[in-house]
Amino acid sequence: MKCEAEELKQLVTESVDALSTKSKKERFDEQSWDSLKSSPFYEVLRE
C-alpha cells in the first residue's frame, strides 16, 4: 500500500512539474518584440 501511495505522489509531482514548465514556456512565448518596443533601450539594442 505504501508503494502505491509513493508512486501516485511521484506521478502527481511529475504532472505539476510538466504543467509549470509548460506555463513558463507559454509566458515566454507571449512576450513578443512588441512588448520591448516600449523600452527606452529598444532602439539601441536593435543596432
Taking the chain (47 residues) in runs of 10, the rounded mean pLDDT of each run is 79 74 74 70 71
What pLDDT does 17 receive?
Answer: 73
Q: Scanning the structure block, which residue is given the C-alpha cell 508512486?
A: 7
What pLDDT does 47 receive?
Answer: 67
What pLDDT does 1 receive?
Answer: 60
Residues 36, 42: contact at Cβ < 8 Å?
Answer: yes
What pLDDT does 34 receive?
Answer: 67
What pLDDT does 20 receive?
Answer: 73
Give the whole-angstrom CA distance, residue 7 versus residue 27: 30
What pLDDT does 4 receive?
Answer: 85
